[in-house]
Structure 1
Amino acid sequence: MFKTTLSLFLFLGIHITHAQSNSSISIEIDSKISFQRIDNIGASSAWFTEFIGKYWSEEQRENMARWLFSKKMDKDGNPEGIGLSSFRFNIGGGTTELGDSSRIKDFRKRVECFLDSNGHYDWNKQIGYLWFVKKAKAYGVKDLIAFSNTQPVFMTTNGLGFKTIKDYTSNLKTNEYGNYAQFLANILSHFAKEKIHFNYISPVNEPQWDWYNNSQEGSPWTNYEISKIVKALDSALVKNKINSKIITPEAGHLEYLYSKKGRAGEQVQMLFNRNSSLDVSKYSHVLNAAAGHSYYTDGDDSTRIAIRKNVRDTAEKYGTSYWQTEYSMLGDNYKEGKKGKVSAMDCALFLSKVIHDDFVYGNAKAWQFWNSVEPGNPDFDTRYFLLALQSSDSTFVSGKVIPTKMLWALGNYSHFILPNMHRIKAVVNNGLNEVQQAKDLMVSAFEDNKQIVVVLINYSNEEKNIHPNITNLKKYSSMTVYLTNEQHNLSKQSISTNTSELQLQPRSIYTIVIKK
């Protein structure tokens, strides 16, 4: 448990040296030194939510919605859910309607399309997905994001939702750019009339991959093609008087944002540079942030940190910022040399470290997990999901949703770091460099005019005694501590005020909320 807490003297910047042990670690937090403003923290709904929202029991659906979206506390002061501030909705391309001829083997990964080849819209499609979108809105999720992996199949070059040749160019027919843009605009307009406003729209996803497979919907795009569809979509949004912002380019991994790797590299330099012929930042509906995915850039600590610094520096050079819009542990880096199964808590700690690095070294303004729910075991190798699905049978029309440590680890950030907070200076003074700290103790802090939120990750196998020192804070009204580890799921901790030290348990994630 969190054995001690801060005294008022510490908040005033006064050190109480007699209460410190020789082995305590100083944590310096300074609210006068601020960095990026946070836009949102969220997750996606894809594939499996269609079946859950459409067929599964009300109890299971409501549990899932509460765990993802609720900002309330239970009677003991523990969060009911992780209070996401963004939620991503997948606009389908019509592979469900194609059935087995879609050539996507897993029927759960086929997605319906609102539009058919005759130009008729059917708004009763994707009702399972939309059940959760409506729940997100009802819970007060700030940002709803619509994203597309493929164009409607009747607009593609091969009539499928994925590529059948490896040429790394878009599957969209060259004469369909305007129609695809209008398709997306019509969806936004329709749901706006139903009081469901999508704040953001993303027309392109992971353009660097060849998408030469039959595992899901997807399409590659060159930078030229991205610029062309963003221009068309911006025009459609202007024409239809839609105020949604366009997110792009959703790079397949972060190095594509600044390096020459792949057929669609240097995307910040190409797409967010006023001197580039492909610049999209000039369009009024484009979000001034380069969107990228943290997949495959989560390896050794040194490389992971360096990549995010490169993203930060490149974005700053070209006058833009960075959104991390998809992440799960696609590679095996999360194992960190471990053999066999990896515990749910170890997965959660690795997730917390990636989030920390994106915020602290990448200056990410938004952070979004990939799929909220997928089939799996909640106790180990929870690399792909926040909530584990256990279907009753192969039809996937009933089953059980189980929360994992990954959910609560994300909640250490998402429940407390609110939109429009700014990240502020937070430093661990233990003599270790950034790479060494990634296996020891990490800290980040965020502030608005009502509170300061501090997230501490004790990645080590040892208890840590820390001595926090928050300067430039004149007063505070309350402090609350929440813990995620093997025994606790974002649980409120009882605290005392008779010492200036805090003791952190091994392999644990703490969030401290200081009300002004």
Structure 2
Amino acid sequence: MSSTRHRPAFPRAPRSRRLYALGAAAALAATAFTAAEPGPAPADAAAPAAATALTVRPDPSYQQPAFEGWGTALAWFANVTGGWPDAQRNALADALYGADGLGFTIARYNIGGGDSPETDPYMRPGAAVPGYWNRPGPEAPDWWDPHRADHWNPDADANQRWWVTAAEARGATTFEAFSNSPPYFMTESGLVSGAVDGGRDNLRADQYDRFAAYLAGSLKRAESATGVTFDSLSPVNEPNTDYWQAGGRQEGSHWDPASQARMVTALRAALDAGGVETPVAAMDETNPGTFRSNWESYAPGVRAAVGRLNTHTYGTDGRTGVRDIAKGEAVPLWMSEVDVGGSVPQSFTDMSPALDLARRINDDIRELEPRAWVLWQAVEDYENMSPGHEDSN
């Protein structure tokens, strides 16, 4: 979810493939025309060969697993619209999750990291998602203790939590919690937007277990507040990238592959210690190619700690490789985040944005074969998406 979104335009099909498609179409058209309009055969033409019978039998033993559904991440738009008047927020919830709307069945809930209260606001609208921590008094080094009740705020993030309950009330059945950044007091930079050097990890080396405790505790409090049981928890987001930088407009954190592996196992251990069976999802990489590179570096024990594979498709190369990893590991695979704003200019009257999205969905389903397909933000801030800014749909 980089602020620039890293959305390359869709490549055109190679010329040879286009010519092949055109040639095949022409051949089919010619065949159809000949069959429909037969002409007299030349006198010296050989007798046509007898048609060969062809029997096609579907193989019911080759089936994909049941598709889990469609959805959206809540995060920024929910952090804003969850606080709107009832009539307005319910109309949006009906449009996305209602039976007469899109009928989404999946919601991804963002566990916020949260900057220091002393930090001047600097993020884009909605991106400052509140964390579940509570600072009861003057801050001391490493003040936060996950075992102290007064260091938690169970009432945090009311707006996004409203959306979780609204989605469930309208039929949503699958919920994932995900993190973009640790809280500010666990970071190197002191900010949840990333390290000063975007190519370096922002979680301090001594904070893995505390961050795992934060995620596990936040999950528990989100479930208690909403009554929803989360199906998975994703600890890192687009980790092996260099665009999460201190002062950026959203939460983000770099994790090199070894750090990802350490975080996955730390979170699995924290959940197990609390008797929580929620699967760990990983690693929500920005594109399939980088996902594969990360995954291939994981030791067998790390892979065993992952209960679902999540990839984004802001880049599209390598979809079939990730598909094959999922099949080989026998682990469910999601396309867990993408949007396509920016690949075509913003327009509310042209069909190009809709066709662009339809092509992305079709290509992802065909090549990646995911169990679910989840949009990034189903509702966006108009001003931020306008042609003078991101020029996105």
1:202 maps to which residue?
Answer: 234
* 1:57 aligned to which of 57, 66, 85: 85
In structure 2, distance between residues paired with 1:98 and 1:30: 64
Task: After TM superposition, give the deviation of residue 139 of structure 1 in Å.
Answer: 1.7
Residues 295 and 330 in structure 1, CA contact (< 8 A), matched pair in contact too: no
Which whole-Å deviations, capped at 9, do the CAs of 1:251-284 have from their partners, x for residues lacking one?
A: 01122123xxxxxxx123223xxxx36x42222x
Relative to structure 1, the CA distance from residue 192 to residue 165 in structure 2 (aligned partners, 3 Å threshold; closer, same or farther) is closer
In structure 2, distance between residues paired with 1:29 and 1:22: 27
Residues 113 and 126 in structure 1, CA contact (< 8 A), matched pair in contact too: yes
1:261 maps to which residue?
Answer: none
- Structure 2 counterpart of 1:34, which letter? Q
TM-score by length of 1: 0.57
In structure 1, distance between residues paired with 2:221 and 2:391: 36
- Structure 2 counterpart of 1:198, which letter? F
In structure 1, distance between residues paired with 2:391 and 2:58: 34
In structure 2, distance between residues paired with 1:31 and 1:138: 39
- 5 Å-filtered alignment, 1:434-513, equals none
Instruction: Look up the SS of the partner of 1:159 in the other structure.
Output: coil
Relative to structure 1, the CA distance from residue 51 to residue 235 in structure 2 (aligned partners, 3 Å threshold; closer, same or farther) is same
2:303 maps to which residue?
Answer: 281
Residues 261 and 302 in structure 2, CA contact (< 8 A), matched pair in contact too: yes
Relative to structure 1, the CA distance from residue 384 to residue 184 in structure 2 (aligned partners, 3 Å threshold; closer, same or farther) is farther
* 1:106 aligned to which of 103, 124, 128: 124
Relative to structure 1, the CA distance from residue 329 to residue 64 in structure 2 (aligned partners, 3 Å threshold; closer, same or farther) is same
Task: After TM superposition, give the deviation of residue 351 of structure 1 in Å.
Answer: 1.2
Instruction: Look up the SS of the partner of 2:110 in the other structure.
Output: strand
Root mean square deviation, CA, Å: 3.0
Instruction: Look up the SS of the partner of 1:34 in the other structure.
Output: coil
2:337 maps to which residue?
Answer: 326
In structure 1, distance between residues paired with 2:155 and 2:291: 37
In structure 1, distance between residues paired with 2:329 and 2:106: 26
TM-score by length of 2: 0.74
1:94 maps to which residue?
Answer: 114
In structure 1, distance between residues paired with 2:198 and 2:381: 33
- Structure 2 counterpart of 1:95, which letter? D
Instruction: Look up the SS of the partner of 2:64 in the other structure.
Output: strand
Residues 268 and 290 in structure 1, CA contact (< 8 A), matched pair in contact too: no
- Structure 1 counterpart of 2:237, which letter? N
- 5 Å-filtered alignment, 1:76-155, equals 80-95=100-115, 97-100=117-120, 104-106=122-124, 108-117=126-135, 118-119=144-145, 120-155=151-186
* 2:257 aligned to which of 220, 223, 240: 223
Q: Which structure features the higher share of helix residues? A: 2
1:291 maps to which residue?
Answer: 310
Residues 287 and 315 in structure 2, CA contact (< 8 A), matched pair in contact too: yes
1:371 maps to which residue?
Answer: 377
In structure 2, distance between residues paired with 1:367 and 1:130: 22
Which whole-Å deviations, capped at 9, do the CAs of 1:76-113 have from their partners, x for residues lacking one?
A: xxxx111111101111111373441x5x3435322211
Instruction: Look up the SS of the partner of 2:223 in the other structure.
Output: helix
* 1:66 aligned to which of 87, 94, 108: 94
- Structure 2 counterpart of 1:176, which letter? Q
- Structure 1 counterpart of 2:313, which letter? S
Identify the structure with bigger relative contact order (alpha carbons < 8 Å, sequence gap 6+): 1
Instruction: Look up the SS of the partner of 2:302 in the other structure.
Output: coil
- 5 Å-filtered alignment, 1:14-25, equals none
Residues 268 and 315 in structure 1, CA contact (< 8 A), matched pair in contact too: no
Matched, 1:354 2:360: yes
Matched, 1:269 2:299: no
Residues 53 and 128 in structure 1, CA contact (< 8 A), matched pair in contact too: yes
2:269 maps to which residue?
Answer: 235
Instruction: Look up the SS of the partner of 1:171 in the other structure.
Output: coil
Q: Which structure features the higher share of strand residues? A: 1
Matched, 1:37 2:69: no
Task: After TM superposition, give the deviation of residue 368 of structure 1 in Å.
Answer: 0.5
Residues 308 and 357 in structure 1, CA contact (< 8 A), matched pair in contact too: no
- Structure 1 counterpart of 2:304, which letter? K
Residues 76 and 125 in structure 2, CA contact (< 8 A), matched pair in contact too: no
Which whole-Å deviations, capped at 9, do the CAs of 1:387-420 have from their partners, x for residues lacking one?
A: xxxxxxxxxxxxxxxxxxxxxxxxxxxxxxxxxx
Task: After TM superposition, give the deviation of residue 312 of structure 1 in Å.
Answer: 1.9
Instruction: Look up the SS of the partner of 1:144 in the other structure.
Output: strand
Which whole-Å deviations, capped at 9, do the CAs of 1:413-435 have from their partners, x for residues lacking one?
A: xxxxxxxxxxxxxxxxxxxxxxx
Task: After TM superposition, give the deviation of residue 343 of structure 1 in Å.
Answer: 4.3
Residues 374 and 384 in structure 1, CA contact (< 8 A), matched pair in contact too: no
In structure 1, distance between residues paired with 2:57 and 2:375: 27
1:309 maps to which residue?
Answer: 320
In structure 2, distance between residues paired with 1:374 and 1:365: 25
Task: After TM superposition, give the deviation of residue 162 of structure 1 in Å.
Answer: 2.1
Relative to structure 1, the CA distance from residue 105 to residue 152 in structure 2 (aligned partners, 3 Å threshold; closer, same or farther) is closer
Residues 341 and 380 in structure 1, CA contact (< 8 A), matched pair in contact too: no
Residues 189 and 196 in structure 2, CA contact (< 8 A), matched pair in contact too: no
In structure 1, distance between residues paired with 2:251 and 2:288: 21
Query: Gaps (5+ residues) in structure 2?
Result: 1-34, 38-55, 136-143, 146-150
In structure 2, distance between residues paired with 1:269 and 1:208: 13
In structure 1, distance between residues paired with 2:289 and 2:233: 23
In structure 2, distance between residues paired with 1:206 and 1:106: 19
Task: After TM superposition, give the deviation of residue 125 of structure 1 in Å.
Answer: 1.8
Task: After TM superposition, give the deviation of residue 321 of structure 1 in Å.
Answer: 4.7
2:26 maps to which residue?
Answer: none
Residues 97 and 167 in structure 2, CA contact (< 8 A), matched pair in contact too: yes
Task: After TM superposition, give the deviation of residue 165 of structure 1 in Å.
Answer: 2.8
Relative to structure 1, the CA distance from residue 138 to residue 99 in structure 2 (aligned partners, 3 Å threshold; closer, same or farther) is farther
